[in-house]
Amino acid sequence: MWYSLAIGRPLWTKKNRIRFFKLRIFFVVFLFVFVFLPGVFHLCPKPSLLGSLDFSRAVYDRDGRLMRLTLTRDDKYRLKTESIPAVLYKAILFKEDRYFFYHPGVNPLSIARGFVHTFITRQGKMGGSTITMQLARLMYKLNTRDLPGKFIQMGLALAIEYFYTKREIAEAYCSLAPCGNNYEGFAAASLVYFRKPLSELSQLEAFTLAVIPQSPLQRTPERQTNNASLVKARNKLVEQWIKENPGDKALLPFLDFPLAIQARIPFNAPHFVNTLLQKYTQREKLATTIDMRYQGRLEEIAYRYVMRRRHLGIQNASLLLLDYETMEVKASVGSVEFFNEKIEGQVNGVYAKRSPGSTIKPFIYALAMEQGLIHPMTLLKDVPTNFNGYNPDNYDGEFEGPVTAQAALVRSRNIPAVYLAGRLSNPDTYDFLKTAGISELRPKETYGLSLVLGSLDLSSMELAELYAMLANKGVMQPALELIPEKEDSRKGKNQLLTPEACFIVLDVLKNNQRPDALPQTGGNDNPAPVYWKTGTSIGFRDAWTVGIFDNFVLVVWIGNFDGAGNPAFLSLKAAAPLFFEIVDTLRNTGLTRYSSRDFPFRIPDNVKQVEVCALSGQIPGLHCPKTVFTWFVPGVSPITPCTIHREIFVNAKTGYRAMFNEPGKTRSEIVEFWPSDLLALFEAAGLPRKTPPPFPPGTTDTPAQGKAPEIISPVGKNAYVVRNDTRTYDRIPFVAVTDADCAEVFWFVNENYIGESKTYEPFFWEGEPGLFTVRALDKLGRSDVRKIEIIVAD
């Protein structure tokens, strides 16, 4: 028998044998865990923590509040936890696994304690699973109620611990922990229950989440109005925590408060969110630029407005609010009722391509000013005009005659806009829109001049970007739907217009009067400027109002997604009232950055004010009776002397016009010399203008003064195509506009006289194939020339 030489007592006692047995067990376990298993794991493939799972996609507003949480393929609301806040980390470890950082995935002491508590003393069920074991069960859907399942769970837990860090294991568990109903993971639960991300959880909220996974069916907040089971479990855990951490006694008073949380998944800005989810398919988290203060107000205003106007056939609207300083989309309303099938409510009207009507006219005028064709007081003609076979009309069927450029833009006259568009070059309207990034443009030749009046299709987003360019001094930038990760991450800036042209156009648009019965924002004494334009598509299918106010661009569309027209879809009466209702609401609630006294658009250094004739818009002469001031860009804007007001001499006895002044025999008169097309319009309107008296009969040697005829048909540099079998029936109209002192036009083709016509009346000529020079000559010897080509097609 063995004896202890040191103490003289037997060494191999029963007590020592038990100790030795335990030591051998420990040694075997040690070898198994730290020698055998690592060798086995080294030969095995690395288990995937979360790779086979898909996660919900979360969409947030500008302030980080949840707007949408999507379902996974297995119908779960599950978010990946990428960072665990300290308060939640402490709560989870205190509740689930206090020795998480000290065991290799399995805690034998916890298992033994749970076995004794459950089966020996029968004091109730007590689990012994570690966080790693729970993760293994959740990952592989294990049944751990029997011994084989439990051993598999422990083996997988040891493998997970071998391949992954404690931080990775904890984050994976927090991503899969059952939190009631079909919510998985604390990140999703925090958003649903507390309306906040994990990083903003309070200590008490962290303890609340920590107790849910133990019994998710009984502790799901949405299953009970008073959440009694959840509150009881939470309070018990907090009391245990305070016993071990007395410094947190401040939590005790809050335990008596009711836990009023109710699970609800938000469904905000549905059209906007759906579009982003389809656009950014690889992103699980989308931090948008939407501000729910604006989004909610615009949705409410639009819905109430449509309800009030339904008796007129107005059933739908879409709205877009863009901050032009940051280019962030603040609100986007695709339709007034997302779930209304009758109006196709799930169509996103903000991104739908529609005819913009006259809303693109400001850019025609900006280009014309930039290219030196006009300034605001330039006189244009609103008269019936044939543009190479294209005969545009005004929406009211009327013509105003002579009209200034600024009045033509504000009143949305079509003829002046088409005339200017025809004179644009490098770029013309099409090239400008293409450079601006307008999508789905057809070839240029398919549009022609009708492009000016909205024959192309634009979306509300594209219109908002174009108007934001005016506010940003001609710099085109894409709108931001997501918050940029870096301040300088925006790309695509492009200078499309000069700051001078943008300023002048905006100054013109601010003079556009609000619709009837709508008072100005800010009071009559100091109204806040709004720079706005309307547009109505052909057939009354779309009614638009687009404008700039304070720091925003607002786009309002009224119409039907099926394209059905309605006479009520007149922009000034259908869209403009809604536009100004939104403007007033945002200003009155303090949600804009400029007060009514601010003028955000400063006058560029190269823009001056000059004096022009109030009637012609040209540099005033000695005989102009009235002058006004207008904006002018030196070196760019047109400089021509007034041609309307002229001094003539009239024979005092005969009343005929004299060629020169003869004291005592002639008198001086100031006469308005209007072009013949405008004179005809004045006469048709019952407002005949006084014309200069004629020269005496037989006068041939007249002074070379006044304006030469202007051929408006045929259009030069164009080829006229006639079919071989019908060309005898095709006649080309010759039309010329003359000065006020001429009533006839004499026509020549290749210097051969072919006939005469009244001024501004057509003369029809049957031509043959070939190249021809057409000349219009008035009785005073002034002339104009056009070159044309006639082609015969088979």
Helix extents (H) in 544-688? 571-574, 576-588, 676-684
Residues 652, 695 contacting (CB under 8 angstroms): no
- Stated as kind and residue range, the H or E segment containing 735 is strand 732-737
Mean pLDDT of 13-31: 61
Alpha-carbon distance values, 143 to 117, 126, 136, 150, 591 (Å): 21, 17, 11, 8, 56
Q: Which of 529, 547, 505 is nearest to 595 (CA)?
A: 529
Positive or negative torsion for Cα 116, 117, 121, 122: negative
- 1 pLDDT tier (thresholds 50, 70, 90): very low
- 210 pLDDT tier (thresholds 50, 70, 90): very high
> pLDDT over 70 for what percent of the chain?
84
Whether residue 12 has pLDDT greater than 60: no
Q: What single DSSP character describes residue 666?
A: E
Q: Which of 542, 540, 549 is nearest to 579 (CA)?
A: 549
Token match 């004794």: residue?
A: 116
The per-residue pLDDT of the chain, averaged, comes to 85
Res 779: pLDDT: 79
Cα of first residue to Cα of last residue in the chain, in angstroms, is 128
- 27 pLDDT tier (thresholds 50, 70, 90): low
Res 122: pLDDT: 56
Residues 359, 534 contacting (CB under 8 angstroms): yes
Alpha-carbon distance values, 679 to 63, 402, 673, 690, 757 (Å): 62, 10, 9, 9, 16
User: What are 673-693's pLDDT values in tens digits?
Assistant: 888 877 777 777 677 778 888
Q: By mean pLDDT, which of 8-17, 309-318, 511-520 is the weakest?
A: 8-17
Distance from C-alpha of 383 to C-alpha of 232, rounded to nearest angstrom: 83
User: Rounded to the nearest 10 degrees, what angle do helices 361-370 and 499-509 cross at?
Assistant: 140
Whether residue 388 has pLDDT greater than 70: no
Spatial strand order in the sheet of 542-549? 328-333, 317-323, 552-559, 542-549, 531-536
Task: Write the CB contacts of 310 (distance below 8 Å, at least 6 apart in sequence).
Answer: none
Mean pLDDT of 424-433: 94
CB atoms within 10 A of CB 605: 8
User: What are 483-504's pLDDT values in tens digits?
Assistant: 987 665 455 678 999 999 999 9
Residues 316, 306 contacting (CB under 8 angstroms): yes
- 5 pLDDT tier (thresholds 50, 70, 90): very low
Check whether the bond before 427 is cis (ω within 30° of 0): yes
For the chain, helix, strand, coil in percent to 5 are 35, 20, 45
Q: Which of 402, 407, 384, 380 is nearest to 394 (CA)?
A: 384
Whether residue 525 has pLDDT greater than 50: no
Mean pLDDT of 279-302: 95
Res 685: pLDDT: 66
392 compared with 291, residue with greater pLDDT: 291
